[in-house]
Amino acid sequence: GQQVMQIPQYQHVQEGEDFTTYCNSSTTLSNIQWYKQRPGGHPVFLIQLVKSGEVKKQKRLTFQFGEAKKNSSLHITATQTTDVGTYFCAGIVNTGKLIFGQGTTLQVKP
Amino acid sequence: KAGVTQTPRYLIKTRGQQVTLSCSPISGHRSVSWYQQTPGQGLQFLFEYFSETQRNKGNFPGRFSGRQFSNSRSEMNVSTLELGDSALYLCASKRGDATNEKLFFGSGTQLSVL
């Protein structure tokens, strides 16, 4: 079936280091969305990418959508303790379903 | 504007029982989706409702069912509970039925099956 794989599952970094999570789909995606879930909280929408090769930035966060629209990445520059949480990608497939990746849990050591 | 409201926040049931979870979407939102979240499994899609009609369904057994009312509020029911049904159940709403709309999640119902 259609799957969205996300790696790594966990990442521990020292505050100030960079962090990247990758999302790969078995099929071409219409769009891809990214969400952040703080510990004990619920997912909150961060951004949506639509175009092939699209790159969007939100302060220290950089989001990319692959040329083939099958992969995406989220890069955080100079992590801070406020970045702690689980980051989910969610791809929209041609059936209209939104399929979430398993998430990457980020821990930041001060 | 109030966010997505889910009740109850916590629930403890025993195997074989049934449970009903409730979700009130953001005012004006007509689409409600349900997700099951377990550690390591991410968010598994259960179903989506729009204007009282089920639009999409995930790969869950028939024990999982849902419905949406005319005021867009939604309920999810799980019958004959199993230990593996222990999870955080999240509801999410959006304004319309376009696939590219962002989701607004509730705080979830933490279900424990003993």
The pLDDT tens digits for B6-24 are: 999 999 999 999 999 999 9
Is a pLDDT exceeding 70 seen at residue A1? Answer: no
pLDDT, tens only, B80-104: 999 999 999 999 999 988 888 999 9
According to the model, what pLDDT value does residue B94 have?
A: 95
- According to the model, what pLDDT value does residue A106 have? 98
Instruction: Examine the pLDDT at A95 and tell me if it is beyond 80.
Output: no
Q: Indicate which of B102, B107, B109, B110 best probes the interface with A, i.e. most A CBs within 10 Å of its own CB.
A: B102
Does residue A20 carry a pLDDT above 70? yes
For residue A7, what are the β-bridge partners?
A22
**B contacts of A31 (beta carbons < 8 Å):** 99-100
Quick: pLDDT tens for B50-65.
Answer: 999 999 899 999 999 9
Structure tokens at A107: 């821990």
Instruction: Classify burial at A20, counting beta carbons within 10 Å of its beta carbon; exposed 0-12, middle 13-18, buried 19 or more.
Output: middle
**pLDDT at B42 exceeding the cut of 90:** no
Residue of B nearest to A31 (CA): B100
Residue B104: the pLDDT is: 97
Question: Residue for token digits 């849990």?
Answer: A105
Residue of B nearest to A46 (CA): B102
Give the burial class of A27: count Cβ atoms within 10 A of its Cβ; 0-12 exposed, 13-18 middle, 19 or more buried: middle
Arithmetic mean of pLDDT, A15-36? 96
Whole-number percent of chain A with pLDDT over 70 = 98
The Cα of A2 is separated from the nearest Cα of chain B by a number of Å equal to 11
Chain B residues lying within 8 Å of A6, measured CB to CB = 42
Percentage above 70 pLDDT, chain B: 99
Measure CB to CB from residue A97 to each of B42, B56, B107 and give the nearest one: B56
Interchain pair A102, B41: CB under 8 A: yes
pLDDT in tens, A47-87: 999 999 999 999 999 999 999 999 999 999 999 999 999 99
Under DSSP, is residue B84 helix (H, G, I), strand (E, B) or coil? helix
Check CB contact under 8 Å for A88 and B42.
yes
CA distance A33 to B88: 21
Mutate to test the interface with B, among A50, A98, A102, A104 (most CBs of B within 10 A): A98
pLDDT of residue B102: 93
What does pLDDT average to over chain A?
95
- Amino acid identity at A8: P
